[in-house]
Structure 1
């Protein structure tokens, strides 16, 4: 039998932990896994020490989330901390943290093996892998995990966030607090797990082929290892920023000339990659452009391969509000028994979407709560989202992931 409980409060770290302690004392639950997400202004070490003391036998994972969290009780808001407790005496759970130093893929592979050992399941295939990491090397992390599990196991999670894209994001596991790390959780649930990974945007009509990217080398060898990267030089043989600006009707003209940050300007107008069709409907993996660099180079929050067709996408506030609930419903529908078998869930909602939705965010938490039938859930707001789409694990931006835990 699987049982979930969520707790949330806002204020100073000391006051929130005191409040949470009272709620936890009244809860009849002994968690095997504890997920904790919180505003970046909180004291990470105090949070981790609290969780270790309260739940000495539980696996721990989490980190910072942009402007707080959400639960079935509503939006936590600035200064909030949220905790999700998962009790599953017949399941197995393990986590491991590692700093992403050197080859990120190697680091991820090592962390996965350690997490499996900590779960007492070395060499076994988890039902799901949950990850929380520093932004920047998400594709390499997925590559390292896929060396072990391929696409036989969904990899779901997010990239830790702060409140101002200032690099103040952190990650926690029972091993400690990290600013440049990865936490890997392996879940062997006795009640089953459903999941979904989608975006809330549609194509606007324009598209083009990526004809050149800036890509790096492996370590200090100078050897190019892949023709993909996070700086798009050209689309259809022309400067990428110029083409993208034309797709957006010229709204970026000044920044095409001078360069600069375009993160806010492009939240409702990302790029999309065709991920394939489900029941005849094309699904897109979204990519968020963040800067225009010298010579019209377009910087993005996800890696793009040369030869990829990029689609201009558009979003609306109302669609982003509704989509979270639909993704939660879709995740629940994939669970054996559907809503009647739901114990609760985890949700990853892009921080860029959250900031764009603004005062509509209470409706987002309400939509998720309704889709989960009022069962406990915890949601975080991230600077990158990972999930399985059409049986392939991938990293995207402006996306939503939902996990539904069966009873």
Structure 2
């Protein structure tokens, strides 16, 4: 197995994808799978066409990333196209995009079946699923995948992002392109894989129950307006224009499971204040759930990416594994909070990866599998998968 990455920052779609393909071809030949992460202003149909032309026998999955990307070559701020390619003669891979008038749940079920069919491994459970869906119903998408497969399969993923939360996100594979739908890649690799999913935030101990919820809006916490309760915990009033940054170090957490009686959390990041005193989030909270006021620091946001990679390196083995390469998903909200320190984040990841090639997108929601085996959707989190030499 071999993995390679490339990057180009040309403003023109044609120039950028041609340059990225040229650089990739120097490092790898005949990849079975090509992943692409790119900035919102690029012409996705032009990128799709060039990738299909360059890699006619490859499965392809592409997704927009917020204000840049990151690879083993470093953090790339602003615009650009990054490619990640895998050559694996004994492995199998399949991608699918489903965009229709169906529910996100049904689109997910159809997408995972189509991806398995495209891998030519019908009836066989994949070792890993990479998920890129457009934002809004990620919990339903996860449930659709899990209900269709019936047996738990590790999922890593990130919700498609744009630069300013304006809905300019895009997805495509070798056959389809959409701004609203579900993209899936199934992996049947010939090597061992490991994965990790963490937040890096800690509970302050302050908590409340979601006593009134509508969709992704928490209207009341403990019977009081949610914005009033949250602002009291935060110690300042939230502003309409600055809520995402003001709350990025203090999301709300729900206990996803416990290890040695210590809880681990999936996070929900506030994105909008509502007229009735509620708060809308990037993740769904159910009425009656207990929510904890979480706390993080910029220093943790910078260093935790490397720790998550190190954790993935150690999972499933009595000794540290030797990565061939990897995929990381880093929350766009965290990236924007520490954008001036993202070169340090890249350094931490490179060190943890032992300089093996990796790609990292900045997304509007992260999916991964916790230590206890639960696949979940959260915000302000990092998810990673590593591919290892025998």
TM-score, normalised to structure 2, is 0.95
* Corresponding residue pairs, total: 387
Q: Corresponding residue for 2:161?
A: 161
Task: Please show how residues 182-221 of structure 1 align to structure 2 within 5 Å.
Answer: 182-214=182-214
Seen in structure 2, the aligned counterparts of structure 1 residues 30 and 148 have a Cα distance that, compared at 3 Å, is same
Deviations 1:73-101 (CA, angstroms, capped at 9, x unpaired): 10122121110001111111000101153
Q: Corresponding residue for 1:232?
A: 218
Q: Secondary structure at the match of 1:61?
A: strand
Seen in structure 2, the aligned counterparts of structure 1 residues 373 and 298 have a Cα distance that, compared at 3 Å, is same
Task: Please show how residues 316-395 of structure 1 align to structure 2 within 5 Å.
Answer: 316-334=297-315, 336=317, 339-389=320-370, 390-395=372-377
Seen in structure 2, the aligned counterparts of structure 1 residues 366 and 232 have a Cα distance that, compared at 3 Å, is same
Q: CA RMSD in A?
A: 1.6
Q: Corresponding residue for 2:387?
A: 405
Greater displacement, 312-321 / 148-157:
148-157
Q: Corresponding residue for 1:74?
A: 74
C-alpha deviation, 1:190, in angstroms:
0.9
C-alpha deviation, 1:131, in angstroms:
0.7
Contact 1:345 1:403 in 2 (8 A): yes
Seen in structure 2, the aligned counterparts of structure 1 residues 100 and 232 have a Cα distance that, compared at 3 Å, is farther
C-alpha deviation, 1:150, in angstroms:
3.9
Contact 2:6 2:82 in 1 (8 A): yes
Contact 1:231 1:300 in 2 (8 A): yes
Aligned mates of 2:318, 2:272 — CA distance in 1: 45
Q: Which runs of 5+ in 2 are unaligned?
A: none
C-alpha deviation, 1:280, in angstroms:
4.2
Aligned mates of 1:28, 1:6 — CA distance in 2: 9
Aligned mates of 1:172, 1:337 — CA distance in 2: 39
Seen in structure 2, the aligned counterparts of structure 1 residues 10 and 335 have a Cα distance that, compared at 3 Å, is farther
C-alpha deviation, 1:204, in angstroms:
2.0
Q: Corresponding residue for 1:3?
A: 2
Q: Secondary structure at the match of 1:302?
A: coil
1:285 aligns with one of 266, 274, 286: 266
Aligned mates of 1:159, 1:23 — CA distance in 2: 27
C-alpha deviation, 1:336, in angstroms:
4.6
Aligned mates of 1:145, 1:314 — CA distance in 2: 32
TM-score, normalised to structure 1, is 0.92
Contact 1:261 1:291 in 2 (8 A): no
Q: Corresponding residue for 1:307?
A: 288
Aligned mates of 1:235, 1:151 — CA distance in 2: 35
Q: Corresponding residue for 1:56?
A: 56
Aligned mates of 1:393, 1:28 — CA distance in 2: 32
Aligned mates of 1:382, 1:171 — CA distance in 2: 13
1:276 aligns with one of 254, 257, 261: 257
Contact 1:100 1:182 in 2 (8 A): no
Q: Corresponding residue for 1:296?
A: 277
Greater displacement, 99-108 / 297-306:
99-108
Aligned mates of 2:211, 2:153 — CA distance in 1: 33
Aligned mates of 1:387, 1:287 — CA distance in 2: 14
Q: Which runs of 5+ in 1 are unaligned?
A: 215-228
Q: Secondary structure at the match of 1:360?
A: helix
Greater displacement, 203-212 / 336-345:
336-345
Contact 1:386 1:393 in 2 (8 A): yes
C-alpha deviation, 1:71, in angstroms:
0.7
Q: Corresponding residue for 1:132?
A: 132
Contact 2:119 2:186 in 1 (8 A): yes
Q: Secondary structure at the match of 1:90?
A: coil
Contact 1:261 1:290 in 2 (8 A): no
Greater displacement, 144-153 / 288-297:
144-153
State yes or no: 1:250 paired with 2:249: no
Q: Secondary structure at the match of 1:323?
A: helix
Deviations 1:204-237 (CA, angstroms, capped at 9, x unpaired): 22101111111xxxxxxxxxxxxxx311121111
